[in-house]
Amino acid sequence: MNRTSVLFTAPGEVTVVHEAIPRPASGEVLVQTLISAISAGTELLFLRGEVPTSMSVDSAIAALDGAVRYPLRYGYACVGRVVEIGAGVDAAWIGRMVFAFHPHTSHFTAHTAQVIPAPDDIDPAQAALLPNMETAVNLVMDGEPIIGERVAVIGLGVVGLLTTALLARFPLARLLAVDPLSQRRSLALTLGAHAVASPDERGEHSVFDLTYEVSGAPDALNTALALTGYAGRVVIGSWYGVKRATLDLGGAFHRSRIRVLASQVSTIDPRWLGRWDKARRLDVAWEMLRCIDVSRLVTHRLSVEQAPEAYRLLAEAPANALQVLFDYETR
């Protein structure tokens, strides 16, 4: 029996490869994947070759800590069951459902410290959205919304929608969700946004205390600055890769005292480190996966053999494809 893996063979090219299933070394487990989730924004950057080659793929994740070089394995949201253990591993791991930050593949080995046991009341499809939910939790923590504030979210991909859903739980005066796609704006309303707008409609709305830019489009930074009032905050959750942002800083921005903050989930803001660690933040993310119906974000469940089709959908039909999952039980 072989394993099935997704490989970016060159910029713009996706293939599915079949390889021998690895055996777990000492301290490792072998996981048979049930579901893995595509993180469209980041994965399309790598697929298109739009990331700096001077950096590692992701130094914060052991399975991705290597140079940006094709052929490239990517992805970081695998959920599966432990089917074999290496020497020195407690037999209680066998059969346990776990999450791992690992590229898309039907079987993988990992040290027990690199897999996260999934709660019994979370199903595999929910668990596969753990990284996106953790990112949304991190964005909310970094933005520090205050009671009665006016908050805007620009970009309604999965992370933007989850951030909107979390912010809707706060007693805000106004929560605006901005995206060019009407389907995503409608979904934001069901998740608790007070109002929605396309980017060219922003002038019809209030000045905001806090604005999140999570669209992945550098031009959206100017929209964020235009929406944000005096001494407001702009939290940038997008990663633009090699794309450059041309900002209009010569007008109102110069005297506005707007604070612009980069937010990235690999680390925790130093303000919280005395009481927070990654385990605590993940606990919050699990709880939010229980509280928010993330199933409405899933538009496609495809066999991993359909990987080229999955990425074409996300790149060419974003109005129809939001969260795409690979289902390994349908191979």
Q: What is the pLDDT of residue 52?
A: 75
The answer to whether 151 touches 210, Cβ cutoff 8 Å, is: yes
Determine what percent of the chain is predicted with pLDDT higher than 70.
94
Domains along the chain? 2-128+293-330 (3.90.180.10), 132-271 (3.40.50.720)
Cα maximum dimension of the chain: 65
Label the pairing between strands 195-197 and 107-111. unpaired
Q: What is the pLDDT of residues 140-177, one digit of tens each?
A: 999 999 999 999 999 999 999 999 999 999 999 999 99
State the burial class of residue 152 (Cβ atoms within 10 Å of its Cβ: 0-12, 13-18, 19+).
buried
Statement: residue 203 has pLDDT above 70: no
The pLDDT tens digits of the residues spanning 291-304 come to: 999 999 999 999 99
159: DSSP letter: H
Structure-derived torsion over alpha carbons of residues 196, 197, 199, 204, reported in degrees to the nearest 10: -120
| Predicted confidence (pLDDT) per residue in 89-99, tens digit | 999 999 999 99
- The pTM assigned to this predicted structure is 0.93
Average pLDDT over residues 210-216: 96
- What is the residue-averaged pLDDT of the chain? 92
